[in-house]
């Protein structure tokens, strides 16, 4: 069976293998070192050898962002593994961090490659070392640079971090929807509960509501536990054409649809609705490409670089109505592994570590394959999830993904 | 360096009644370019300016060579009232620069067009008195060759 000619091109693709390096704080290893671990694990997991890999993709590519953010470039990884590539792509502009995965799906659909290795690597913890987390612009040491583009509108006012820009959205949601810190806390508490059952997670000690409410503020109303933690780690995926699905002892993850739209202004501060973000558009475009509906989703891995982003994504994905994510998560049960919509089952980024979107994609595959161990979600039907939704990004950066278990 | 550091720096970490710092201890400044110079230097006479389309009268922000609505290239800076409304606000507490006290960041929309927003510092106001929707007015902070538009509670009642 094959998708009909009217099916979205991305449905020609499956995730046939996944791999992850060590994940931690200040591992002191290079990005390339971690990346090769993840890539080789993913290739082996897919039942392939590196000779089978003919495509390579990453986000965000060369020289982007603060130290430790970008990871190695595709030429570095290609050369380290002496890959013979028919297609390669690295870049930072597109539908979220998963733009690399989406590009890979389209490449296999177009016949440009059969097995694409896709990776995302961060060494932000090691790079930041003992210096603590920096805002954009660093500490101003040495010559003080001046800024153009978007940053000229934020840095002069000390809005030096995405946490400031996103705090404005959180505050606006409190004003418009009555969102409370106790509701926001559920995103962080859920992540911490799930991280306890993920040996790779960075923060696994129990955390309760009092811990959350007592945490120091970063940018009101967001506190320390609303922010993910800079981490070191690499995640790799093998995207294969569905016709070349290897014989491996696990189901593949079928790409059902991707979400790529950005219909509002591409801006943190000039977006038409300051209670939401590009997530709204990306998720809407994903649902336009599939017959699946939000109620079909068994597990969701929602981007939580900041807790409020997961709330925005819950609404953008249609799991609840606009402005309703606070009440939706309030009892803490609905989004738990025993609830009707388990989210961020490996601890998300808040407790699992900031793997910048790809940790969430990895966990979606783990869950669909039934490989979650102590944190495996069992659906009401009695098996592992059949449908997983994943989102990446905040502000004007947004991409989403629907995966299903096994070839569809 | 960027001129006079932000004043103060005391005040409670999460709000309260104390008037916080007017901004970060270190203000990173915009690079002046042909398209943005009018905006960042316009405050020399105490007036806030935005680019505006001569053809369809749309305010264009950030500055761009063409009107995003009618695509006309006939754009010119125009003085606005300096009055605005707080869309959202946050108190930055994290010390990105050692010694920085908490300061208020606001997102405001200008009176002439609510779609045009500025990130700014809310000044001369206690955190507990900041309200979403409150009326504010521009006051400039002169640093080197630029005039940063900050906003304080509007004087006079215009409700």
Any CB–CB contact under 8 A between A178 and chain B? no
Structure tokens at A402: 């629907």
Is-above-0.80 flag for pTM?
yes
Record: contact A217-B13, CB cut-off 8 A: yes
Beta bridge partners of A238: A17, A117
Name chain A contacts of B143, Cβ cutoff 8 Å: 156
Name chain A contacts of B29, Cβ cutoff 8 Å: 144, 146-147, 155-156
Please enumerate in sequence order all residues whose Cβ is within 8 A of that of B56, keeping only pairs 6 or more positions apart, or say none.
Answer: B67, B69, B70, B72
| Minimal-distance CA residue of chain B relative to A131 | B96
Determine which of A60-74, A139-153, A257-271 has the lowest per-residue pLDDT on average: A139-153
- Give residue A133's pLDDT: 57
Is pLDDT of A254 > 90?
yes
Name chain B contacts of A178, Cβ cutoff 8 Å: none
The dihedrals phi and psi of A119, each to the nearest 5 degrees, come to: -140, 160
CB proximity under 8 Å: B 111-130 to A: 115-121
For chains A and B, CB pairs below 8 A equal 139
Name chain A contacts of B101, Cβ cutoff 8 Å: none
Name chain A contacts of B105, Cβ cutoff 8 Å: 157-159, 164, 167-168, 219
Record: contact B117-A221, CB cut-off 8 A: no
For the domain covering A9-129+229-405, report its CATH number: 3.40.47.10
Any CB–CB contact under 8 A between A172 and chain B? yes
Record: contact A218-B36, CB cut-off 8 A: no
Percentage of residues in chain A having pLDDT higher than 90: 90
- Give residue A245's pLDDT: 77
Tell me, what DSSP letter sits at residue A68? Answer: T
Between B15, B91, B118, which is nearest A219 by CB? B91
- The domain spans of chain A are 9-129+229-405
Confidence of residue B51 (pLDDT cuts 50, 70, 90): very high
Structure tokens at B99: 């010694």
Structure tokens at A47: 């039942």
The string of pLDDT tens digits covering residues B87-127 is 999 999 999 988 888 999 999 999 999 999 999 999 999 99
**Angle at the Cα of A333 (from A329 to A336), degrees rounded to 5?**
95
Name chain A contacts of B96, Cβ cutoff 8 Å: 134-135, 139, 158, 160-161
Please enumerate in sequence order all residues whose Cβ is within 8 A of that of B106, keeping only pairs 6 or more positions apart, or say none.
Answer: B86, B87, B88, B89, B119, B120, B121, B122, B130, B136, B151
Please enumerate in sequence order all residues whose Cβ is within 8 A of that of A335, keeping only pairs 6 or more positions apart, or say none.
Answer: A186, A187, A190, A328, A329, A341, A342, A343, A344
Confidence of residue A142 (pLDDT cuts 50, 70, 90): low
The string of pLDDT tens digits covering residues A274-314 is 999 999 999 999 999 999 999 999 999 999 999 999 999 99
- For tokens 């028919």, what's the residue? A86
Record: contact A148-B33, CB cut-off 8 A: yes
The string of pLDDT tens digits covering residues A8-17 is 999 999 999 9
Tell me, what DSSP letter sits at residue B100? Answer: P
Cα(A108)–Cα(A10) distance, integer angstroms: 8
Cα(A40)–Cα(B18) distance, integer angstroms: 56
The string of pLDDT tens digits covering residues A317-332 is 999 999 999 999 999 9
> Is residue A284 left, alpha or beta, with left meaning phi > 0 and alpha meaning psi from -120 to 50?
alpha
- What string of DSSP letters covers B13-66? SS--SS--BSS-SS---BPP-TTTHHHHHGGGGT--EEEEETTT--EESS--SS
Any CB–CB contact under 8 A between B43 and chain A? no
Record: contact B100-A157, CB cut-off 8 A: no
Any CB–CB contact under 8 A between B17 and chain A? no
The string of pLDDT tens digits covering residues A233-243 is 999 999 999 99
Contact status, residue B22 vs residue B6, Cβ threshold 8 Å? yes
> Distance from B2 to chain A by nearest Cα, in Å?
8
* Mean pLDDT (chain A, rounded): 95
Q: Indicate which of A157, A181, A220, A224 best probes the interface with B, i.e. most B CBs within 10 Å of its own CB.
A: A157
Region A96-124: mean pLDDT is 97
How many CB atoms neighbour CB A148 within 10 A?
Answer: 13
Any CB–CB contact under 8 A between A66 and chain B? no
Any CB–CB contact under 8 A between A134 and chain B? yes
State the helix-helix crossing angle for A31-45 and A74-81, rounded to 10 degrees: 60
Name chain A contacts of B122, Cβ cutoff 8 Å: none
Structure tokens at A208: 């309760």
- Give residue B8's pLDDT: 35
Confidence of residue A140 (pLDDT cuts 50, 70, 90): very low
**Angle at the Cα of A54 (from A48 to A58), degrees rounded to 5?**
100
Is pLDDT of A90 > 80?
yes
- What string of DSSP letters covers A222-262? EEGGGB----EEEEEEEEEEGGG----SS--EEEEEEE---
ipTM of this predicted structure: 0.93
Any CB–CB contact under 8 A between B22 and chain A? no
- Give residue A247's pLDDT: 79
Question: Nearest-CA neighbor of B20 among B116, B138, B130?
Answer: B130
Question: Nearest-CA neighbor of A402 among A281, A301, A311, A303?
Answer: A301
The string of pLDDT tens digits covering residues A362-394 is 999 999 999 999 999 999 999 999 999 999 999
- Give residue B3's pLDDT: 32
Name chain B contacts of A159, Cβ cutoff 8 Å: 92, 105, 119
Cα(B4)–Cα(B1) distance, integer angstroms: 9
Any CB–CB contact under 8 A between A216 and chain B? yes
């Amino acid at each position: 069976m094959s998708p009909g000619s009217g099916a979205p091109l991305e449905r020609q693709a499956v995730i046939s293998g996944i791999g992850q390096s060590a994940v931690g704080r200040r591992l002191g290893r290079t990005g390339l070192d971690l990346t090769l671990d993840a890539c080789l694990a993913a290739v082996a997991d897919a039942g392939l050898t590196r000779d089978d890999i003919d495509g390579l993709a990453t986000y965000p590519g060369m020289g982007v962002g603060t130290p430790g953010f970008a990871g190695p470039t595709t030429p570095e990884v290609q050369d380290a593994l002496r890959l013979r590539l028919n297609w390669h792509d690295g870049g930072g502009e597109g539908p979220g961090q998963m733009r690399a995965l989406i590009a890979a799906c389209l490449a296999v659909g177009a016949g440009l490659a059969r097995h694409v290795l896709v990776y995302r690597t961060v060494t932000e913890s090691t790079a930041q070392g003992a210096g603590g987390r920096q805002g954009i612009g660093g500490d101003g040491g040495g010559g003080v640079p001046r800024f153009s583009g978007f940053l000229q509108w934020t840095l002069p006012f000390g809005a030096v971090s995405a946490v400031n820009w996103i705090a404005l959205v959180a505050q606006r949601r409190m004003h418009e929807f009555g969102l409370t810190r106790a509701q926001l806390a559920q995103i962080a508490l859920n992540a911490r509960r799930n991280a306890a059952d993920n040996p790779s997670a960075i923060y696994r000690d129990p955390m309760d509501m009092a811990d959350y409410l007592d945490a120091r503020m970063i940018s009101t109303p967001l506190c320390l536990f609303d922010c993910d933690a800079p981490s070191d780690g690499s995640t790799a995926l093998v995207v294969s054409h569905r016709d070349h699905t290897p014989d491996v002892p696990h189901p593949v993850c079928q790409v059902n649809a991707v979400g790529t739209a950005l219909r509002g202004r591409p801006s943190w501060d000039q977006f038409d609705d300051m209670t939401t973000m590009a997530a709204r558009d990306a998720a809407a475009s994903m649902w336009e490409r599939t017959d699946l509906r939000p109620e079909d989703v068994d597990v969701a891995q929602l981007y939580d670089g900041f807790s409020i982003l997961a709330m925005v994504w819950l609404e953008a994905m249609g799991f609840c109505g606009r402005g309703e994510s606070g009440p939706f998560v309030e009892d803490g049960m609905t989004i738990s592994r025993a609830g009707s919509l388990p989210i961020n089952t490996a601890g998300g980024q808040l407790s699992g570590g900031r793997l910048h979107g790809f940790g969430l994609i990895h966990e979606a595959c783990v869950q669909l394959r039934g490989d979650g161990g102590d944190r495996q979600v069992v659906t009401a039907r009695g098996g592992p999830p059949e449908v997983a939704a994943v989102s990446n990004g905040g502000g004007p950066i947004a991409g989403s993904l629907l995966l299903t278990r096994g070839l569809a | 360096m960027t001129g006079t550091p932000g004043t103060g720096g005391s005040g409670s970490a999460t709000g309260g009644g104390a008037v916080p710092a007017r901004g970060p201890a270190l203000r990173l400044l915009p690079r002046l370019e042909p398209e943005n110079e009018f905006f960042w230097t316009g405050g020399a006479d105490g007036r806030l300016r935005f680019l505006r389309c001569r053809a369809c009268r749309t305010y264009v922000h950030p500055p761009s060579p063409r009107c995003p609505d009618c695509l006309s290239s006939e754009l010119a800076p125009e003085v606005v009232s300096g009055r605005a409304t707080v869309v959202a606000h946050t108190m930055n507490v994290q010390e990105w620069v050692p010694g920085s006290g908490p300061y208020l960041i606001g997102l405001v929309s200008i009176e002439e067009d609510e779609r045009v927003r500025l990130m700014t510092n809310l000044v001369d106001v206690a955190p507990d008195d900041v309200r979403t929707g409150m009326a504010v007015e521009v006051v400039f902070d002169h640093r080197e060759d630029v005039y940063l538009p900050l906003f304080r509670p509007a004087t006079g009642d215009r409700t």
